[in-house]
C-alpha cells in the first residue's frame, strides 16, 4: 500500500523505484558495452524518456518495482567497484552521474521519504 503513495507528481513510490532501476540498468549497459568493446559509449537520453516510460513503469507491480530497484542498484554498485580507474575517469568526464549514482538515487529517495512522512498511514 505504501508503494502506491504519490510523491507529489503523477508518480508513485513504486514508479519512482522502477525509474531508478531503469536508469541504473542504463549505466550497467554502458559499463558492459565499454568492457566488451574496449571503448566507452554513453549515449545521451533526454529526460523526455521519463515521460515516455511512465505508463510502462506504472504497469510494473509495486513490489516488483521495489525488488528491481534494490537488485539492479546492488548489481550496478558491484559493477562500479570492479571498473578500472581509467574507465571510471572516462565515465566521470562524460557524465558524473554515471559513476556517482547517489546524485540520482538520493534525489528520488528523499522524495519517497517525504511522501511516507507526509502521509504515514
Q: Is 6 helix (H, G, I), strand (E, B) or coil?
A: strand
Q: What's the pLDDT band for 94 if we cut at 50, 70, 90? A: very high
Please state the pTM of the whole predicted model. 0.87
Cell of 111: 522524495
Question: For residue 45, what pLDDT is reported?
Answer: 85
Residue 121 has pLDDT above 70, yes or no: no
For the chain, the average pLDDT equals 93
Q: What is the pLDDT of residues 31-74, one digit of tens each?
A: 999 999 999 999 888 888 989 999 999 999 999 999 999 999 99
Torsion over CA: 52, 9, 46, 99 (sign): negative
In this predicted model, which residue has the larger pLDDT, 7 or 78? Answer: 78
Amino acid at each position: 500500500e505504501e508503494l502506491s503513495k504519490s510523491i507529489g507528481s503523477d508518480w508513485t513510490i513504486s514508479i519512482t523505484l522502477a525509474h531508478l532501476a531503469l536508469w541504473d540498468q542504463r549505466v550497467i549497459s554502458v559499463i558492459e558495452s565499454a568492457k566488451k568493446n574496449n571503448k566507452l559509449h554513453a549515449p545521451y537520453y533526454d529526460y523526455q524518456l521519463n515521460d515516455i516510460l511512465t505508463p510502462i513503469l506504472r504497469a510494473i507491480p509495486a513490489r516488483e518495482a521495489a525488488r528491481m530497484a534494490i537488485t539492479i542498484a546492488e548489481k550496478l554498485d558491484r559493477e562500479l567497484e570492479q571498473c578500472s580507474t581509467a574507465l571510471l575517469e572516462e565515465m566521470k568526464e562524460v557524465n558524473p552521474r554515471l559513476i556517482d549514482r547517489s546524485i540520482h538515487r538520493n534525489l528520488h529517495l528523499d522524495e519517497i521519504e517525504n511522501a511516507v512522512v507526509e502521509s504515514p498511514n
